[in-house]
Amino acid sequence: MSKVYKANIWARESCGTIRSSLVVLGLPDLLRVFPEVITTMDNKGGPFLLVLVLVSSLLLCNNVASMPTCPSGPFTCRVPLGELFDRAVILSDYIHNLSAEMFDEFDRRYTHGRGFITKAINGCHTSLLPTPEDKEQAQKIHSEDLLNLVLAVLRSWNEPLYHLVTEVRGLQETPGTQESLGTPETLGTQQAPDDILTKAIEIEERNKQLAEGMERIIEQVQTGDRRNEPYPTWLGFPSLQVADEDTRLSAFYNLLHCLRRDSHKIDNYLKLLKCQIIYDSNC
């Protein structure tokens, strides 16, 4: 994976890496004319949102560039809480966008007429967590509890995302997979697994990155002893490896459906938390 994907957007000392990442992307002029680029690029795909993550991080770096040098070295400086939330919200938007695209692509290519949606409802492993279903419910939860809940959801996806990447890669490399899994309308292309694999790899990396950011936010917000919210174990791996195609495709569908659902929840929770904590609910 390239330096672009490995850039640490949570630390001030990463500013040079972020600038380098934009150059690696082949967009050096973006540093001077980013408003025009952002408004003219295709805002439906991953590249747009990835650039948005990097540009936002660079702007945040520039905002603190005039601050005095850290007295005990750069690693002792903390990024202000408001900036951490800005970066977390942008990153959660990016993850949700990729999750939705990946689900839609899989659904369009492989599940036409199979009725998997009826099996996916309430079938998510994170359903065991007491996540609020709407904004009104979320507003009733203490901000520290909701922060820890977000972190628990993110951590609960580490193992499923790892296995998703592994199994999608195997699906792509298996001879005859497209012919055996696709409908007549979708045969004759290897593009769908490539697209899904690329997005799965990116989401896995970014999910870990967002969890790291949540840990830093919680460190600044939480009072008293730090607690670790338990998270449920995912038990769906065997279903991704069964020989029966309908069962295996249903397992993929359910996993991607749950990922899209949870990434949307996290995105909404973070926007609410930013409003509550940074703007004292005046937004």
Cβ-count burial 250-275 (b if 16+ within 10 Å, e if not): bbbbbbbbbbbbbbebbbbbbbbbbe
pTM summary value:
0.73
Could you list the pLDDT tens digit for every one of the 283 residues in the chain?
A: 333 445 567 776 555 545 544 544 444 444 443 343 344 344 444 555 555 555 555 555 554 444 444 545 545 567 899 999 999 999 999 999 999 999 999 888 887 766 666 565 567 999 989 999 999 999 999 999 999 999 999 999 999 999 999 998 766 443 444 444 444 344 334 445 788 999 999 999 999 999 999 999 999 998 877 777 778 889 889 988 888 888 888 899 999 999 999 999 999 999 999 999 999 988 8
Whether residue 216 contacts residue 150, with contact meaning beta carbons closer than 8 Å, is answered with no
Domain 81-171+194-279 fold is Growth Hormone; Chain: A; (1.20.1250)
Whether residue 99 contacts residue 263, with contact meaning beta carbons closer than 8 Å, is answered with yes
Domain segments of the chain as ranges: 3-61, 81-171+194-279
Annotated binding site: 267
Q: Is 40 exposed, middle or buried (0-12, 13-18, 19+ CB in 10 A)?
A: exposed
Annotated binding site for Zn(2+): 267
